[in-house]
Amino acid sequence: MTGDTPAEVAETYTEALENQVDTEEFHQAQERLDGLRERLEAFEETYGNSDPATQELKEKVQSAEAKVEELKHERREPEELERELLERATRFMLDDKWLQADVIEALNRALVETPYSTLRVDDIELSEPNDIEELDELTRYDIIDVVRKLVRDKLGESDDIRQVWQSIKGTTKEEPFQVVSETGEASPDDIVNSIDEDIERGVARNRLKSAVYQLDISPYHRENGTYYLSTAGRYIATHYATPSGDGEQEPTAGTAEENEQMRLNEETIAVDGGNDNDR
């Protein structure tokens, strides 16, 4: 392990990312090595091993091989440090160690590839230890559970988040989710104006709210009737809802009849739970 605290691992991980070799430099080094190897093989065959040009090419190949290996190590290091941070985060707690700004940013970078300064779980936003002071104990454990499930999904140790996406994909929840993901925020009115289907505002609101109250983990963070992606939503958008991620997932469970019934329910029944701040 790199350090004894999440902050030490986060700092080392962030520094490694900042110093990471860019892809173009690595490809250029690999292409040079491949070219030198081709010339060396040709010179050995044509002029023999004792030829001065052949000897010079051998030295250049050895030097190029060393450079490529060095760059490979530098490219690998951030991935190894990311895994170390995530493995630490399987024991994530709501305490001073994890709720430091640098740690939150590093954890977001490892989870969703962007160093966001907050963790969002449902309608709660955390950026520092003081943010948990007024939370009840059950809510605290719910937050811990969500963060750990995200981490375990990234490590390939859980499919809880994949199942949340499968409950969105192919249903009336998917298009509103894509709108919020692409625009950064959306109200029910925005959903009405953004999707192809002709629906009323109340239906749009219920489709957003159904993702909050009917799924095990909410993909949204709500403020004053506006929906943003929660950290789980950001994770789903990054790893599952993108074209590349989408193709790797199994089809959403549920028959066409079940999906139609869900659509009818959303059109006629208000979603229960919490304060309705979307009116």
Q: Domain ranges for the chain, please list them.
A: 1-89, 144-268
User: Is the pLDDT score of 156 beyond 80?
Assistant: yes
Dihedral, CA of residue 114, residue 119, residue 121 and residue 122, to nearest 10: -80
Q: Tens of pLDDT along 39-92?
A: 999 999 999 999 999 999 999 999 999 888 888 776 668 888 999 999 999 999
How confident is the model at residue 270, as a pLDDT? Answer: 43
Distance CA 188, CA 277 (A): 11
Torsion sign over Cα 114, 119, 121, 122: negative
What pLDDT is attached to residue 25?
A: 79
- How many angstroms separate the CA atoms of 227 and 207, rounded? 12
Q: Is the pLDDT assigned to residue 248 strictly greater than 80?
A: no
> Stretch 96-109: mean pLDDT, rounded?
97
| Calpha distance 116→104 (Å, rounded) | 7
Give the pLDDT band (50/70/90) at residue 263: low
**Residues above pLDDT 70, as percent of the chain:** 83
How confident is the model over 26-34, as a mean pLDDT? 89
Is the model's pLDDT at 99 over the cut of 80?
Answer: yes
How much is the pLDDT for 253?
A: 41
Mean pLDDT within 21-26 = 72
pLDDT in tens, 173-210: 999 999 999 999 999 999 999 988 889 999 999 999 99
Please report the sign of the dihedral spanned by the C-alpha atoms of residue 242, residue 247, residue 248, residue 253.
Answer: positive
Residue, of 196 and 239, whose pLDDT is higher: 239
Question: E strand or H helix at 218, and its extent?
Answer: none
Say whether pLDDT at 20 is over 80.
no
Round to whole Å and give the CA distance between 68 and 89: 32
Contact (CB, 8 A) for 188 and 150: no
The more confident residue out of 150 and 259 is 150
Instruction: Please report the pLDDT score of residue 243 as a whole number.
Output: 61
Indicate if the pLDDT at residue 279 is higher than 90.
no
Alpha-carbon distance of 1 to 107, in angstroms, equals 17
CB 162 within 8 Å of CB 240: yes
What is the CA angle 113-107-163, rounded to 5?
70
The whole-number average pLDDT for the span 87-108 is 97
Tens-place pLDDT, residues 113-135: 999 999 999 999 999 999 999 99
What was the pLDDT predicted at 56?
95
Please name the residue ranges forming H helices in the chain.
Answer: 6-18, 23-47, 52-89, 101-112, 137-154, 160-168, 174-183, 188-194, 201-213, 231-239, 243-246, 256-268
- pLDDT-based confidence at residue 3 (cuts at 50, 70, 90): low
Helices (H), 19-51: 23-47
80: CB partners within 8 A, 6+ apart: none
Looking at per-residue pLDDT, the higher value among 96 and 17 belongs to: 96
Structure tokens given for 63: 């030097």
Percent of the chain with pLDDT over 90: 72
